[in-house]
Structure 1
Amino acid sequence: MTLPLLLLILLLFTGLLIFAANFSALETALFVLREKDLLHDDVLPRSEKSKKLLLNTSTTLQEAMLLGSISNLTLTATALYLILHPLTEAGFQPWISTLVILSASLIIVEILPRTCALRAPSTVARFTLPLLGISQRFFLPAIRPLLGFSRSIAARLTPPRSRPPNLLSTDELVTFIDMKEEQGSIDKQEAGLLHHVTNLHRLAAHDLMTPRVDLPLMTHDAEDQEAAATLESARHPFVAVYDRKQDGVSDLINIQQWKLKGRPQWRSVSQPPIFVPESIPLIRVWTDCLQSDPAAVAVIVDEFGSFQGLLTHKNVVNYILSKTAPTSDTQPNIQSIGANRYLINGQARLDEIEHELDVNFDEDDLDTIGGLATSLFGGPPKPGQQITYKGIEIKIKRTNRSRVQQVELQLPPAPDHR
């Protein structure tokens, strides 16, 4: 056997070891995460694609198991070829070669990855999901028929009582709502309400929170008179008590409860904060923290634990109701002010703007137009500053400290098809 061919086979064998170990670790991590409360374990990766894979655990687990099985089969065939040809030709006993390669493969592919996944499932999931995403792009179209066949066999072998209910996906539910609206079964307002309820599954905790810059803050060592003045003038239902030593929120004060109890010393009515990562799905925060208590509140933190804002029961309810029954003084997120010119609320989501204005920002790591503007300028912009991005002129209209409150978009003219 020539040296280049031997090197190629060894390179293939090494690559298969990495692939098989990756999918072995991912399988175990997904199994563990399915049994744990994701809300209290910051497992969601920053990449939108990886986040979607992790949230769709059942499908991702099936694909990881199938790709892992294929990797193991290919790895076994390659190992047999190495044992029977290059190693035997080099004078090694086949049974010794088999024992060494089998032991090494077992440790590298099974024992080490699965042990790591059991100890740190969230970290392992974040590191192994990108390779699954790449594998989907190249290999999934070829193995999709096999995946469908295995699912159909599993469905036939599963007893009827053990089968999960056939739930509609979010896209199927949206289509169903549109169909019912066209048939006249529900009116436009009811359809809008249902659409925004289903849209909750696409939002993260930070999408509806009240940002830190808009919240009343109070230091934990504030004098009673100063604290009372802060609580009395607060416009938000909650005041966050900030501890400089801990560099974070130590307590929360419900303003309504403080007033109803006769405005006592603030520590007697304070409540401990519930910390929630900003990337956690909104529907999960609603179900686990906010749904059962109208006075509930969650403290939103970033990946480094820094305070980002507050999310309340009222935030979620107002989001749903404001879309279908807006008050007279509510300004829409997108306002047309001329030919291809629009005033946009700084907190308007990029996907909403893309849908309404038929544009494409193609930004997976940013959610709002204000965040995009801040990223493009390399820091908090000032009113009047302009920048062009993908042919769209973005002009800053209003800011509040480091937060972009309103921008103006000038879209390029539509192409002339005459």
Structure 2
Amino acid sequence: MSDDPSSSSVQDARPAEKSWLDKLITAFSGEPKSREDLLDIIKDAADNKLLDQEALTIIEGALDVADQQVREIMIPRSQMVCVNIDDQPDKLLPTVIESGHSRFPVIGESTDDIRGILLAKDLLPLILNGKDNFTLENIIRPATIVPESKRLNVLLREFRENRYHMALVIDEYGGISGLVTIEDILEEIVGEIEDETDEDNDGAFIRQVSDTDFIIKALTPIEDFNEHFSAGFDEDEFDTIGGILMRAFGHLPQRNETTEIDGFNFRVLYADNRQIHLLRLTPPA
């Protein structure tokens, strides 16, 4: 054991974390040693105004997608909007119009009997040419099938290369467990993408995405949250569920940070440099 006091003092004075200069030197001396090193450099760049918060969020989202599988974001089987191969226009068109979707799985005898994908735009000839001799089989496109375990970054690349926007998801037994779209993956990167067909309930939004999970907006009023989940969150101190989350975190959380309150597990899906926007919730069992 060394008796040199100067050696001990130098070691004690060494900072616990790398300084910005250390990280910068690491970045230029070679590749970052881990994903955490890379994120540290990117976050420090944002802190030094070399990146804005939106760019940082997108970069983090892109890195997260590389670690996620289809099963984590797919629309579950129970919430799929399908049409039957034998449906006639009188039954088919109301489903297409009411859902607001642009693509639909076409099934046969059951949901596991996938016949193809219907594009809503392919129904336009019905308006021009009438409904005579109409059969879905003549206009549907081939369906793409992917396993639940497929990586999102790989699927996104395939979506782009093959120019399709929807895939059906199968479980380990070959049954249909859900579907995934290119928009679902992009939302993991850039946050919620809303269009004119999305419902807007004055900021309040609770959507079930699986048997155990929900997507909720941070601006959901606590009163609505309590009513929907039979919860008992205090409505006096804060107006929205986002306010309660801010107190629980103690800081403005970043994407994928999690916290648990009264058995409710919250994961941040999207937040900017001012507030939380979107959450994934797993209520108590």
Q: Pick the TM interval, shorter chain.
A: 0.5 to 0.7
Q: Structure 2 CA distance, aligned partners of 1:200 and 1:168? A: 20
Q: Structure 1 CA distance, aligned partners of 2:263 and 2:100? A: 35
Instruction: Mark the CA change 1:353 to 1:182 in structure 2 (over 3 Å): closer, same or farther.
Output: closer
**Structure 2 residue aligned with 1:275:** 145
Q: Structure 2 CA distance, aligned partners of 1:299 and 1:208? A: 13
What's the offset of the Cα at 1:205? 0.9
Identify the structure with bigger relative contact order (alpha carbons < 8 Å, sequence gap 6+): 2
Instruction: Mark the CA change 1:295 to 1:280 in structure 2 (over 3 Å): closer, same or farther.
Output: closer
Q: Structure 1 CA distance, aligned partners of 2:60 and 2:176? A: 31
Q: Structure 1 CA distance, aligned partners of 2:162 and 2:77? A: 22
What's the offset of the Cα at 1:293? 5.8
Query: 1:189-238, CA deviations, whole angstroms, 9 ceiling, x for partnerless residues?
Result: 22112111111112111222222222221222334432344334332221
Q: Structure 1 CA distance, aligned partners of 2:92 and 2:193? A: 38
Q: Structure 2 CA distance, aligned partners of 1:285 and 1:343? A: 33
C-alpha contact 1:189 1:324 (8 A) present in aligned 2? no
Equivalent position amino acid for 2:186 in 1:
V
Q: Structure 2 CA distance, aligned partners of 1:393 and 1:215? A: 29
2:258 alignment partner, SS class: helix
Instruction: Mark the CA change 1:284 to 1:168 in structure 2 (over 3 Å): closer, same or farther.
Output: farther
Q: Calculate the TM-score normalised by the size of structure 2.
A: 0.55
Equivalent position amino acid for 1:272 in 2:
P
Q: Structure 2 CA distance, aligned partners of 1:240 and 1:316? A: 18
- Structure 1 or 2: larger helix share? 1
Equivalent position amino acid for 2:151 in 1:
P
Alignment of 1:300 with 2:165, yes or no, is no
C-alpha contact 1:343 1:407 (8 A) present in aligned 2? no
What's the offset of the Cα at 1:320? 2.6
C-alpha contact 1:294 1:314 (8 A) present in aligned 2? no
Q: Structure 2 CA distance, aligned partners of 1:258 and 1:325? A: 24
Q: Structure 1 CA distance, aligned partners of 2:101 and 2:38? A: 35
What's the offset of the Cα at 1:319? 3.3
Across the aligned residues of Structure 1 and Structure 2, the Cα RMSD in angstroms comes to 4.1
Q: Structure 2 CA distance, aligned partners of 1:175 and 1:268? A: 54
What's the offset of the Cα at 1:284? 1.1
Q: Structure 1 CA distance, aligned partners of 2:241 and 2:50? A: 35
Query: 1:113-134, CA deviations, whole angstroms, 9 ceiling, x for partnerless residues?
Result: xxxxxxxxxxxxxxxxxxxxxx
Instruction: Mark the CA change 1:256 to 1:295 in structure 2 (over 3 Å): closer, same or farther.
Output: farther
Q: Structure 1 CA distance, aligned partners of 2:113 and 2:72? A: 21
Q: Structure 1 CA distance, aligned partners of 2:126 and 2:56? A: 42
Q: Structure 2 CA distance, aligned partners of 1:240 and 1:231? A: 11
What's the offset of the Cα at 1:276? 0.5
What's the offset of the Cα at 1:248? 2.5
**Structure 2 residue aligned with 1:192:** 57
Structure 1: gaps spanning 5 or more residues: 1-164, 345-351, 360-390, 396-404, 410-418
For residues 2-401 of structure 1, the aligned pairs below 5 Å read 169-244=34-109, 247-259=112-124, 262=127, 265=134, 266-288=136-158, 290-292=159-161, 295-322=164-191, 329=203, 331=205, 332-333=216-217, 337=222, 338=233, 355-357=257-259, 359=260, 392-394=262-264
Q: Structure 2 CA distance, aligned partners of 1:316 and 1:354? A: 15
Structure 2: gaps spanning 5 or more residues: 1-29, 206-215, 223-232, 243-253, 266-279
Q: Structure 2 CA distance, aligned partners of 1:177 and 1:261? A: 52
Query: 1:250-269, CA deviations, whole angstroms, 9 ceiling, x for partnerless residues?
Result: 21101133337747733232
Q: Structure 1 CA distance, aligned partners of 2:194 and 2:86? A: 42
Identity fraction in percent: 14
What's the offset of the Cα at 1:324? 9.6
2:96 alignment partner, SS class: helix
**Structure 2 residue aligned with 1:134:** none
1:250 alignment partner, SS class: strand
Q: Calculate the TM-score normalised by the size of structure 1.
A: 0.39
What's the offset of the Cα at 1:169? 4.4
Query: 1:3-57, CA deviations, whole angstroms, 9 ceiling, x for partnerless residues?
Result: xxxxxxxxxxxxxxxxxxxxxxxxxxxxxxxxxxxxxxxxxxxxxxxxxxxxxxx
How many residues are matched? 196
Instruction: Mark the CA change 1:315 to 1:169 in structure 2 (over 3 Å): closer, same or farther.
Output: same
